[in-house]
Structure 1
Amino acid sequence: MDPMSGNEILVGYDGSADASAALEWALEEAGRSGRPVRLAYVFEWLTVAGWIGPGVAPGIWPDETARRQVEELVRKAAADASAAHPELTVTGEVFDGPPALVLQERSAQADLLVLGTRGHGGFGGLLVGSTAVAVAAHAHCPVVVVRGEAAAGGRSGHVAVGVDGSDCSLLALGFAFEQAAARRVPLHVVRAWHPPTGQRPPSGPEAREAAAADRAELDEPLARWGATFPDVPVTVEVAEGRPASLLVDGSRNACLVVVGTRGRGGLKGMLLGSVSQQLIQHAHCPVAVVRER
């Protein structure tokens, strides 16, 4: 039987504070959705030549004692989570390989992947900032990145989402509606634009016309999702500015901020890869990055 059930919440876990915050977020999400939770510790065996994988010759660091310690860490974390949430199914598993590649591969069989931004160093170096960014950019399911310091302040408030009309941002909008409905909180939609380098921003009537045109482009997707989730209150903000800055500011009072992996270029360059990366590093609440499966 495939070890992944296909509707699980997969959590990158290494015992660090950020990984523990990610696990707590995943358990809360599972409590709303009823989905099982699987902890995934990615055991990376390194030598001077790079990763050599499982089955190496005896005596090459790390030894089997280290592996058993990792397995016990994951077993205990899963057992503690199950004891604290007896209504949920929580399991743990240790995988071998480079963390980013393994988590990306396993995400194809998960509904949601939850990560911390930073983890421990050494052979258990899971989820350093670069790993979280790489996984969020290439995973096969939505990815939620939880920083330890952002988790405590992100339990209440609205869901914020950045939308520019691109396919990825419309997927993000649907995910944000689902999250707002499940949490019974309002949804705040942010539409940002910035003039191309070297051009002055419009002002007066021209600026108002540009804002109205951008707002009108949101009418159809908002009406479609609003019909599916009629109980979700929605507010819309159309503003000139850097998308990342607007969304970081908008995350201060939010419980979750949602973006796509990539958006449009040019004037409406919202949700480019750099925007999701900046949110992962600087948002004041957990960040969900959504891409087409």
Structure 2
Amino acid sequence: MNDMRESTVRDQVLVGVDGSANSARAFEVALAIAKRQGWSMRLVGCYSVTFADHESGLTVSENFRRAMESNARHPLEAFAEQAKADGIEASFATYDEHAADALVRESATARLAVVGKRGRNRFAGRFLGSVSAALAAHGHCPALIIPERWETPDASRIFAPGQDQPGGEHAATEPTELLSESTPPKPRRKAFHNVADQMNFRQEIVVGIDLGEPSRRIALAAARFAEMFGRSLTLVSATPLNADAWYPNPVEHNIDIPSIRSRYTDHLSTLVTIVKDRHPDLDVHWRFYDGTPAGVLSEATRSASVVALGTRGHGGFTGLLMGSVSQSVLNRSASPVLVVPTLKNTV
């Protein structure tokens, strides 16, 4: 743990606010967390003013700056009043800079940062907004990325939203197969009507686990989140075992499959024991899939309450963050995604 950060961190939820419906939803989630934890809230809004280097331009720019600052301040004041009405201490600040820079800097003293997911663009192959992507990649504390609100098409049955597939909503999902799992917690919540049983996480908290010591930190961070909201925790690992199309020696690889499988399941079992030791009242179990980590976790976002990932290729899945797996999951996510820094201090 980084002792220097711990000496300055506050029991505080940081929220990025830009006046959009996405940021309003992020505020609602952050307020619920602050109320549960007894934390304060820090609301940040940003704007940008183009500089003009002639006399009249300076006057115009200053007037424009004041107008922009006022526009950024208005939703912050409204949210701060709402938080205070609910008994939560709230402060706010506006900055004349890119929101990503301000939020990354402010995250150094927060327990958790919450932002909306924006900026989908299938043609460019980029879905994630620049602010949420930068905060996920460079933030000093865990970041909770909130997607757009989704309304069920049939109120009589529990439906899950689809992924934001790069190929469009009718693109095929990646093939996955559940190979092993521990005994699931009971009683469990109702299953989603439109999700296959092996991928139906029934509003649990799901955490992506790879081999390696940092995965312990990610699992414990996800456990704290699950305990906070009274949800079960599922540890998920995945690796593609069908190697015929890509492995240089498929026969040799197929012989190794039992060993590969046992390494993952043994690691998952060990982590469950560690989590249960820290959180004895929490329902925890694990699942191991044959499939790509990106495919499995992206599909998990359809039925999980939150999917937690690690960063920078340590713990979580190899390549995080912003590697191909993490980008894919964040871009395609239907549920909130909790990104846990693994090279920096966590909550």
- Which TM-score tier does this pair reach, normalised by the shorter chain? 0.7 to 0.9
The answer for the alignment partner of 1:59 in structure 2 is: 60
- The aligned runs of 1:180-199 (5 Å cut-off) are 180-194=226-240, 198-199=246-247
CA distance in 1, matches of 2:311, 2:9: 25
Give the deviation of 1:194 after TM superposition.
Answer: 3.0
Contact 1:159 1:255 in 2 (8 A): yes
Q: Measured at CA, do residues 7 and 260 of structure 1 come closer, stay the same or move farther in structure 2, by a change above 3 Å?
A: same
Give me the whole-angstrom Cα distance separating, in 2, the residues matched to 1:202 and 1:80. 62
Establish whether residue 8 from structure 1 lines up as the match of residue 12 from structure 2: yes
Q: 48, 63, 70: which is aligned to 1:68?
A: 70
Question: What are the within-5 Å matches in structure 2 for residues 67-146 of structure 1?
Answer: 67-83=69-85, 86-118=86-118, 129-146=129-146
Equivalent pairs counted in the alignment come to: 272
Give the 3-state SS of the residue equivalent to 2:111 in structure 1.
strand
The answer as to 2:208 corresponding to 1:207 is no
Instruction: Tell me by how many angstroms 1:203 deviates.
Output: 8.1
Q: 1:269 to 1:68 in 2, by over 3 A?
A: closer
Cα pair 1:81 1:90 within 8 Å, conserved: yes
- 1:221 aligned residue (271, 281, 294): 271
Is the contact between residue 162 and residue 270 of structure 1 (CA under 8 Å) also seen in structure 2? no
Whether the 8 Å contact between 2:69 and 2:94 is mirrored in structure 1 is no
In structure 2, relative to structure 1, the CA distance for the partners of 1:5 and 1:45 (3 Å cut) is farther
The partner residue of 2:21 within 3, 9, 17 is 17
Task: Indicate the larger mover: 233-242 or 137-146.
Answer: 233-242
| Structure with more strand by fraction | 1
Which of the two has higher C-alpha Rg? 2
Native 8 Å contact 2:50 2:61 kept in 1: no
- Mind listing any 5+ residue stretches in structure 1 that lack a counterpart? 50-55, 120-127
Taking structure 1 as reference, are residues 262 and 150 closer, same or farther at Cα in structure 2, changes over 3 Å only? farther
Q: Give 2:332's aligned residue.
A: 282
- TM-score normalised by length of structure 2: 0.70
Structure 2 counterpart of 1:269, from 300, 318, 323? 318
Return the alpha-carbon distance in structure 1 between the equivalents of residues 24 and 95 of structure 2: 18
With normalisation by structure 1, the TM-score equals 0.82
C-alpha contact 1:168 1:261 (8 A) present in aligned 2: no
Structure 1 residue 213: deviation in Å? 2.0
CA distance in 1: counterparts of 2:330 and 2:150, whole angstroms: 10
| RMSD, matched Cα | 3.1
The AA in structure 1 aligned to 2:204 is: H
Q: 1:166/1:13 Cα in 2 relative to 1: closer, same or farther (>3 Å)? A: farther
Q: Decide which moves more: 133-142 or 156-165.
A: 156-165
Encode CA deviations 1:133-181: one digit per residue, 9 max, x unaligned.
1110110000000012269979x82100001133443322111111111
Percent of residue pairs identical? 28
Choose the corresponding residue for 1:29, options 30, 33, 44. 33
Q: Which residue of the partner structure matches residue 44 of structure 1?
A: 48
Structure 2: tracts of 5 or more residues without a match: 1-7, 120-127, 153-159, 162-201
Q: Residues 134, 202 of structure 1: CA spacing in aligned structure 2 closer, same or farther, 3 A cutoff?
A: farther
8 A contact 2:306–2:335 mirrored in 1: yes
Q: In the TM superposition, what is the alpha-carbon distance from 1:34 to its structure 2 partner? A: 0.9
